[in-house]
Structure 1
Amino acid sequence: MEPTSSINSPGNDQPHLSIPIKIDQNTLHPQENHSSSSSSSQETPPISSLVISNKHSNAYYFPLLLINFLFLFVGSVSSSLLSKYYFNHKGSSIWVSTWVQSAGFPLLFPPIFLPFYLFKTTQRKPFSHFTPRIFTLSIVIGLLLGLNNLLFSLGNSYLPVSTSSLLLSSQLAFTLILSVIIVKQKITFSNLNCVVLLVTSSFLLALGSNHDKPEDLTKTNYFLGFVSTVGAGLLFALYLPVMEKIYREVYCYAMVVEMQVVMEVAATVLATIGMAVEGGFSDMRKESLKAFDKGPAGYWISVFSNVVTWQLCFVGTAGMVFMTTSLTGGICMTALMAVNVLGGVVVYGDKFGGVKAVSTVLTLWGFSSYVYGMYIKTSTDPEETDHHTINNNHHSSPDHHHGHHDHNNVAQGMEMVPIYGNA
């Protein structure tokens, strides 16, 4: 293993943020002898994998991971409460609630374009290294994300925040199952224990929370909200491992943000069609002037705040999945469900009886079980924690199509990759 390569050296096409990595020369040059290593222009064989080691020494990894978690934390809690605020104060359009979840994608343009065109802090042109496959997958997943947003809006319009938040915690069980199928996630005792506890929590909630529905809510609408929320959890659970698999082909963290723009454009197109068919755009004006009991200013502040917080939530989720795993991202979201429950109780006065208390305890128990399992695994198998081999067969850098890689291009192509193994 040679000394850490500098990815930020002059002349490299670097992304917005980079992580120093150590490259195993036996992997890079399995047939190259010592005499040929002096030539920097010599072609190298195709790369099958890179070994990233000593992740704790990476200068950018943990700060960026923390930033993404903060985005997820603030976005998840705020978007849930603000969505409920919209419905609590006489907002009634399901399509408006759906549209604001993805319509904020232009907010991602400054961090994408300014570093290259204005600040000149990167030589990587935005949206470079996009393949037709990644572009197509981003559109398809964006449409599924739009459907997920619609289901979430339906559930959030009918159910109290605490109930919908606890129901959404069941997505972790779906995430584990789908991760096993899609990304070959290993099943451990802590994983299985977490699933059992969360499923039990959801069943208890389903059996015992019918009494806390609003007085003017029919049983049919309550059932629709319940089913829609579970469906949203299932779709999002599918989204997480699918994105983990796709991110293995992604060039850098900047590309994750760019993919997020494409996905949210697709989701916004779907929501805009629904808005146009159902008259949602004219409803926004009518709601702001006549229906919303906080007045026009309160209405538009609510809508814009929803747009911003949903962007934080989705970008934070994408970053967590890219930098860790889909299951870890799901775990973090589940942990925030308890905060959403408390937020609903504190801000909106949702009832918090014995059934919800037991459900919350089971949810936190399941999360703690998973965290403890991760701790045990990293304590007993530090080698797996410090060294993670990442398959690079499908990276689509220009040199790959010619059957060879320049040493610097290889290092640059693996910047900002996920470096945690399965937990």
Structure 2
Amino acid sequence: MSPTSKHYMVLLLITYFSLFVGSVSSTLLSKFYFIHKGSSIWVSTWVQSVGFPLLLLLIYLPHHLFKCTRRRPFTSFTPKLLLLSVFIGLMLGLNNFLFSWGTSYLPVSTASLLLSSQLAFNLILSIIIVKQKITFSNFNCVILLTLSSILLALSSNHDRPKDLTHAKYFIGFFSTIGAGLLFALYLPVMEMIYKKVYCYEMVIEMQLVMEMAATALATIGMAAGHGFSEMKKESEMVFDLGPKAYWLTLVFNMVTWQFAFMGTAGLVFLTTSLTGGICMTALMAANVLGGVLAYGDKLGGGKVVSTLLCVWGFCSYVYGMYVKMKEEEKNNNQSIQLPEQQMV
């Protein structure tokens, strides 16, 4: 699929819209669960991937919607690709657990800004795994977003809930950093694998297998930690908005996480892992604002500056990409004109 084609741009816009809706809403709903007396980290982990059957709708939609090679689903899966998908799915399941652990303790805005630290890891791992070239724009972006996370770490300790101990706060802090590191590894590894994938349908199929593996891991954790019986108890006796609101919260969380994961996978397939990471980081500002508006998170000076650095870094990267595209377009035009002149 050519990056200059109209279909490519439409698919890219749909993918980023999916990422935007999924990232912001899933983060807010995950925190909503804990705010209203939900307490199971495994339940929160499980709902992140258990919505994978929804992807079957995308896989079996008419193939012409994606303008892909007409083929039966999963026919291009090799044993190696299947094993890689399962392994990455288990890694994704661990990432989901760390994210849930951090979200259970930290305010939404703090957790969101901490996750922006994944970009520094992403750049380093992209250089190692997929030979990403360092430019001023992406290096400047990473520096600004890393400074944003450091500033947050130094200034946000005071905004933890009164009933949260220092120990639990730092568990949440480092769990979130760990989730960011795993996610940063996930992106370039997926870019490397996607180079051997020739259509968008295969991306969805791989995502289905990965989430099945992540769900299997979460289900083992649920069974070992009595999570299924805990869900029933929470819905009937613990969740302060009642059973109906409890199950609706979990169902909507399942759906929104599918939007987030498919948006991420699509961006990596259509662009690069670094671009996907930067787009994810750019949404941190929206998550911070969402936490302030929805849950009354404190927006102190440190968070304001951190958010501004986040936006600044993203704008720097977008501008660098714009300049690069203009240069490539100019070079292409010159290469076309040169043969014409030689023919004359």
- Normalised to the residue count of structure 2, the TM-score between the two structures is 0.93
Cα pair 2:37 2:240 within 8 Å, conserved: yes
Secondary structure of residue in 2 paired with 1:107: helix
1:328 and 2:280 are equivalent in the alignment: no
Distance 2:127 2:281 in 1: 18
Distance 1:340 1:63 in 2: 25
Question: Which residue of 1 is the match for residue 27 of structure 2?
Answer: 80
Distance 1:218 1:385 in 2: 59
Cα pair 2:69 2:199 within 8 Å, conserved: no
Question: Which residue of 2 is the match for residue 9 of structure 1?
Answer: none
Question: Which residue of 1 is the match for residue 286 of structure 2?
Answer: 339
Secondary structure of residue in 2 paired with 1:91: coil
Choose which of 216, 235, 244 in structure 2 pairs with 1:288. Answer: 235
Question: Which residue of 1 is the match for residue 143 of structure 2?
Answer: 196
Secondary structure of residue in 2 paired with 1:128: coil
Distance 1:162 1:222 in 2: 14
Question: Which residue of 2 is the match for residue 102 of structure 1?
Answer: 49
Structure 1, residues 245-294: CA drift from partner, whole Å, max 9, x if none?
00011131000000000000000000000000000000000000000000
Secondary structure of residue in 1 paired with 2:48: coil
Distance 2:279 2:57 in 1: 27
Residues 326 and 385 of structure 1, relative CA distance in 2, 3 Å threshold:
farther
Question: Which residue of 2 is the match for residue 171 of structure 1?
Answer: 118
What code does the residue aligned with 1:80 have? Answer: T
Aligned residues: 329
Structure 1, residues 74-120: CA drift from partner, whole Å, max 9, x if none?
0000000000000000000000000000000000112212437xxxx
Question: Which residue of 1 is the match for residue 82 of structure 2?
Answer: 135
Distance 2:300 2:80 in 1: 49
Distance 1:146 1:106 in 2: 16
**Residue 122 of structure 1, CA deviation:** 7.5
What code does the residue aligned with 1:371 have? Answer: V
Question: Which residue of 1 is the match for residue 338 of structure 2?
Answer: none
Residues 374 and 384 of structure 1, relative CA distance in 2, 3 Å threshold:
farther
Secondary structure of residue in 2 paired with 1:101: helix
Distance 2:60 2:324 in 1: 41
Alignment of structure 1 residues 2-401 onto 2, 5 Å: 19=1, 55-56=3-4, 58-115=5-62, 123-382=70-329
Distance 2:206 2:219 in 1: 20
Distance 1:65 1:232 in 2: 26
Distance 1:135 1:363 in 2: 37
* The structure with more radius of gyration: 1
Distance 2:326 2:198 in 1: 31
Secondary structure of residue in 1 paired with 2:6: coil
Cα pair 1:378 1:385 within 8 Å, conserved: no
Distance 2:328 2:49 in 1: 41
Structure 1 unpaired stretches of 5+:
1-18, 20-51, 387-423
Distance 1:354 1:114 in 2: 48
Distance 2:180 2:54 in 1: 26
Alignment of structure 1 residues 412-423 onto 2, 5 Å: none
* More helix, by proportion: 2
Cα pair 1:129 1:251 within 8 Å, conserved: no
Distance 1:316 1:385 in 2: 30
- Normalised to the residue count of structure 1, the TM-score between the two structures is 0.76
**Residue 383 of structure 1, CA deviation:** 6.0
Distance 2:166 2:323 in 1: 46
**Residue 365 of structure 1, CA deviation:** 1.2
Distance 2:70 2:263 in 1: 25
The runs of 4+ residues in structure 1 deviating greater than 3 Å are 383-386
Residues 70 and 158 of structure 1, relative CA distance in 2, 3 Å threshold:
same
Q: Identical aligned pairs, as a percentage? A: 68
Residues 201 and 258 of structure 1, relative CA distance in 2, 3 Å threshold:
same
Residues 123 and 195 of structure 1, relative CA distance in 2, 3 Å threshold:
closer
**Residue 385 of structure 1, CA deviation:** 8.1
Secondary structure of residue in 2 paired with 1:137: helix
What code does the residue aligned with 2:292 have? Answer: V
What code does the residue aligned with 1:145 have? Answer: L
Structure 2 unpaired stretches of 5+:
334-344
What code does the residue aligned with 2:164 have? Answer: L
Structure 1, residues 107-157: CA drift from partner, whole Å, max 9, x if none?
0112212437xxxx9841010111111111000000000000000000100
**Residue 166 of structure 1, CA deviation:** 0.4
Cα pair 1:115 1:122 within 8 Å, conserved: no
What code does the residue aligned with 2:86 have? Answer: I
Distance 1:266 1:153 in 2: 17
**Residue 59 of structure 1, CA deviation:** 3.5
Question: Which residue of 1 is the match for residue 341 of structure 2?
Answer: none
Distance 1:385 1:291 in 2: 63
Question: Which residue of 2 is the match for residue 418 of structure 1?
Answer: none
